[in-house]
Amino acid sequence: MSNWITCNPANPLREGSTNIFCIMSLNVVPHESVSCKVQVQYQNSALSVEFINIAQPEYGEWGADDNWIYQKIAQKLFLGTLASSNSPGILAPATSQIFYDDTRSVHNDADLQKITTLEEQMIEQQRLVSQLKSILISKGMI
């Protein structure tokens, strides 16, 4: 899995120990909250899946810098400080809704246009499959 984020623990078990985490899913409700499913590997090699919810007023701190979410996850799970070697990338939000009024990078215009185009193509393909199915049924083929 990519996009593992490294944290330097406040109390390392041994020299060079780190905690790492990866955002498995991210569900953003603009101007309200964010929910994250995070896989964590602690410095003692234990693995865990954690769920984090961040709502207002804390959510209001999130501006245009998506590193904020990584720092907030590390803080809430007591993983330590983010290592300077991280160059994280947020995974696509797990939501069925499309929000056009949010300016953060998880909702940029180019991605929204791609999503809209793909949805339109999917609707057209569903229409064609339905027509084909009707024809096959009317001819007694299925």
Query: Among candidates 5, 31, 29, which has minimal Cα distance to 18?
Result: 5
Q: pLDDT digits over 16-45, tens only?
A: 788 888 888 888 888 888 998 988 888 888
φ/ψ region of 45 (left if φ > 0, alpha if ψ in -120 to 50, else beta) reads: left
Q: Are residues 64 and 117 in the same domain?
A: no
Distance, CA of 59 to CA of 38 (rounded, Å): 17
Q: Are residues 76 and 124 in the same domain?
A: no
Based on the structure, what is the number of domains in the chain? 2
Q: Are residues 75 and 132 in the same domain?
A: no
Q: Is the pLDDT of residue 139 over 60?
A: yes
Say what the pTM is.
Answer: 0.56
Query: Among candidates 79, 64, 63, 59, which has minimal Cα distance to 19?
Result: 79
Is 115 part of a structural domain of the chain? yes
Q: Are residues 72 and 114 in the same domain?
A: no
Q: Are residues 57 and 16 in the same domain?
A: yes
Q: What is the structure's pLDDT at 68?
A: 85
Please report which residue ranges of the chain form alpha helices under DSSP H.
67-76, 109-138
Is 138 part of a structural domain of the chain? yes
Q: Are residues 52 and 16 in the same domain?
A: yes
Q: Are residues 125 and 85 in the same domain?
A: no
Helix (H) or strand (E) holding 39: strand 33-41
- What is the token pair recorded at 33? 């909250």
Is 40 part of a structural domain of the chain? yes
Q: What is the structure's pLDDT at 98?
A: 39
Q: What is the structure's pLDDT at 92?
A: 36
Q: pLDDT digits over 67-118, tens only?
A: 888 889 888 988 888 887 654 443 333 433 434 444 445 556 677 777 778 8
Q: What is the structure's pLDDT at 127?
A: 92
Per the structure, the complete domain to which residue 140 belongs is given by: 108-142
Q: Are residues 44 and 87 in the same domain?
A: yes
Q: pLDDT digits over 37-62, tens only?
A: 988 888 888 888 989 999 998 888 88
